[in-house]
Amino acid sequence: MREKDGRDRRIQGSGGCGSQGAGGSAGTEIPGTVCTACAGETAEMLAAGHHGGAASGKPGSRMSWMMRPQALFTWLAGAFLTAAWFLSRWSVDGWPVLLYALAILTGGFFVGRQALRSLRHGRLDIHVLLVLAVTGAVWLGQWFEGALVVFLFSVGELLEAWSHHRTNRSLQELLDLRPPRVTVRRGGVLQEIPAEQARPGEIFIVRPGSRIPLDGQVVKGESAVNQAPITGESLPVAKGPGDHVFAGTLNGSGYLEVRSSRPSRDTTLSRLIRLVQEAQAQRAPAERFIDRLARYYTPAIFVLGIGVAVLPPLLAQAPWDTWIYRGLAVWLVACPCALVISTPAAVVSGLGNAARHGILIKGGAHLESLARVDTVAFDKTGTLTEGHPRVADVIPAPGFSAAEVLQTAAQLEARSQHPLAAAILAAAGAPAPTWPEVRFFQQVSGNGVRGQIGSHQVFVGEPGWVWDQAECLRARSKSVPTLQEAARRLQNEGKTVMAVARRGSGEGGEGGEPVGLVAVVDALRAESLDVVAELRRSGIRHVVLLTGDHPAAARAVAARLGVTQVEAGLLPEQKLEAVRRLQRAQRRVAMVGDGINDAPALAAAQVGIAIGAAGNDMAMETAQAVLMGADLHKLPYALSLSRATLRVVRQNVAFALLSKLAALLLIFPGWLTLWMAVLVDSGATVLVTLNGLRLFWHRPAATVSAAAGVAGPGLGVPGPEAVQRAGAGSRI
């Protein structure tokens, strides 16, 4: 089923209870939590709007659960069953059987419809088995047993549907954040239009106290904006002209005019919603294994039930009615509903908890992989450091002033998106109108930038690359050794050093000359030391620093953090190879970076984790997990949550298997009745679902939870303001 706004929320058919035995099943709006066969009447409830179907577009909580059609039929069946039981105690002839029949018809209405649908598609599932079992009970004269079986099964389905609604609430909260309309200024006139009709570049207004409908850049006004749903800041963030804002965030008391930067379908919030939906539809490896098992399990149980019913009477002259009854019990107790739902119930709850805390994990497979990680590799700049570099030192070459060094570097860096560029521009001041034009600008990944200014080719970036490109060494410039020594000294202080040089643009050139050095410092995040220590306490055996910065600067940072394994001076492809070396050493690696020059390494790791990714397209697309804000404390929290999810999955699978085995063993002595069989099956399903739902309230260790804060609505927890970072290669 595809909703009106184009969101496809179908499950990829999971095959539980034999649903994939022949031809698969149609998709339903159960967001990746349970196979369609096990969902059964849950799908009927969804069609009626329980999970916010296309008709209503609202979450199921808008209408009381007690008033849903299936709920009403279930309570009516319970009333008929209760009345029939009391009348049978009073020896009232005729009426108990009639009331038992009414209980079977009302409680089994949705079950029967689903059974017919399954048979039309050639599937053998729990609904077919239940209808056969109830028919057999009635044929044997066990009216009370048949009615009680139907009622208990309907109650179990109702509770299961409620659990699916609960797991879907986080996604619905995100959907509710999107204002449907926006007020734009067209031709000097304000017009209110649907948000999807607004065009990039249009000016729209945001009134005090309203939600921002689109991503954009503030052009007029000042206000404080609550960005918790996207990035997780604990306090509103001051916004003014030039600042970026996100759709779905809440404006404070100020009036803003914003220039739209993206269409409604491509806002950060819209991409988050799509990624959450895709994550819910992806299945963990354990879930895929159980689904494959279920394809053969249900037909085998069907054959076993027939064997139990007919073989003892045929071979040992045992009573037919006794063994038919026991065969029916086999059908009821052995359905793998609890086993099939044991994994997705936990996984979707874990994904929902992560989303509430500003951590987007793209599916159960990545959640499971994160739980098995034993090595965490960090990028340095913007990950362990704040990502706000500032110029600390300027050393001019002979014949140049510090201002000339900064101006020359700033002329090129004005065209760059690297964090260092912002630091140089801030130190040099705003570009002057008299600055000459830069031609043939090129950004060289991992090294720096180059371009032509007047009659000179200018190079800014990693010192070794700059000296080589500008042919300073060939020109035997006497100032180069002095600058090289100064660069080493600054790097040993933990600073990042960029060289500036130029050479003539004519063929063959006129020899290069150094202009000077610019040293930039980027302070460590306040939480970096605590996070590294927390990772070690949580069982992470190896913490590695992979950076493109100079080895001396990298070692200075690593020493402060207590990290002993450092690889520095890496280009993006070398970071990728470093991750692969760790994997070849049998380590399960999580790579943490900002999603720009770290993209290859993020993609190669068992789990790539992008930090501060709000508004960062590459990070959201490349990484398997995204920390929407810039708070590193979310990383230990994500590890804690993933491990808790894996523990719950193992608990659920073990309980589902042991409960089925114990119930099957009780059948042969005749100790298990039909209603007890249904109670075991439905009860186990409900219990594993509720056990999975515990993950919604999972709390990490005290140190992490104190730092992570309390989740706000939708995505986001309190944390520092997210910083949008972009850059080329490994200049840091």
pLDDT digits (tens, 9 = 90+) for 184-226: 988 888 888 898 888 899 999 998 888 899 989 999 998 888 8
Contact between 272 and 279 (Cβ < 8 Å): no
pLDDT of residue 510: 57
- Closest by CA to 296, choosing from 17, 38, 35, 657, is 17
Give residue 12's pLDDT band: very low, low, confident or very high (50, 70, 90): very low
For residue 277, the model assigns a pLDDT of 61
Q: What is the mean pLDDT of residues 654-672?
A: 80
- Whether 731 shows a pLDDT value over 70: the answer reads no
Rounded CA-CA distance 332/150 in Å is 11
At residue 636 the predicted structure's pLDDT band, cuts being 50, 70 and 90, is very high
Q: How confident is residue 581, by pLDDT bands cut at 50, 70 and 90?
A: very high
Residue 167: what pLDDT? 52
- Residue 360's DSSP bridge partners are 626
The number of beta carbons lying within 10 Å of the beta carbon of residue 506 is 9
Element housing 574 (H / E): helix 572-584
Q: What is the 8-class DSSP label of residue 23?
A: S
pLDDT in the model for residue 493? 80
Note the pLDDT of residue 233.
Answer: 52
pLDDT class for 58, splitting at 50, 70, 90?
very low
Q: What is the pLDDT of residue 434?
A: 67
Residue 33 or 663, more confident: 663
The answer on pLDDT for 234 being more than 60 is no
Q: φ, ψ for residue 626 (rounded to 5)?
A: -130, 125
- What is residue 588's predicted lDDT score, i.e. its pLDDT? 93
Contact assessment for residue 178 and residue 247, using Cβ atoms and an 8 Å cutoff: yes
pLDDT digits (tens, 9 = 90+) for 322-341: 888 788 777 777 666 666 66
Considering only residues 50 and 511, tell me which one the structure prediction assigns the higher pLDDT. Answer: 511
C-alpha distance from residue 384 to each of 475, 530, 538, 619, 662 (Å): 39, 11, 19, 16, 52
Tell me the CB-side half-sphere exposure of residue 311, using CA atoms within 13 A. 8
Going by pLDDT thresholds of 50, 70 and 90, the confidence category of residue 427 is confident
Closest CA relative to residue 199, chosen from 216, 212, 211: 216
| Sheet (strand 438-444) strand order | 390-396, 512-521, 496-504, 456-461, 448-453, 438-444
Task: Tell me what the mean pLDDT of segment 446-470 comes to.
Answer: 83
By the 8 A CB rule, do 449 and 416 touch? yes
What value does the mean pLDDT take over residues 536-542? Answer: 91
pLDDT tens, position by position, 329-374: 777 776 666 666 677 778 878 887 887 787 888 877 888 889 999 9
Place of tokens 């895709």: 278
**Parallel/antiparallel/unpaired status of strands 589-593 and 607-611:** parallel
Catalytic positions, written as ranges? 379
CB 537 within 8 A of CB 495: no
Supply the pLDDT for residue 228. 62
**Selected residue with higher pLDDT from 301 and 715:** 301
Q: Which of 67, 93, 68, 97 is nearest to 81 (CA)?
A: 97
Question: What average pLDDT does the chain have?
Answer: 74
Q: Which of 118-132, 398-412, 473-487, 661-675 tops mean pLDDT?
A: 398-412
Question: pTM to 2 decimals?
Answer: 0.59
pLDDT computed for residue 156 by the predictor: 67
The Cβ of residue 269 has, within 10 Å, a number of other Cβ atoms equal to 26
pLDDT at 174 over 70: no
pLDDT of 288 reads: 59
Comparison of pLDDT for 24 and 489, the residue scoring more:
489
Cα angle 231-380-730, degrees, rounded to a multiple of 5: 110
The β-bridge relationship of strands 250-251 and 223-226 is antiparallel
How confident is residue 51, by pLDDT bands cut at 50, 70 and 90? very low
The more confident residue out of 93 and 15 is 93
Lowest mean pLDDT among 75-79, 142-146, 392-396: 142-146
| pLDDT for res 587 | 92
More confident residue, 560 or 128: 560
Q: Is pLDDT above 50 for 725?
A: no
49-63, 187-201, 384-398, 509-523 — which is least confidently predicted? Answer: 49-63
What is the predicted pLDDT for the residue at 371? 92
Does the structure show a pLDDT above 60 at 376?
A: yes
CB 714 within 8 A of CB 372: no
pLDDT at 62: 41
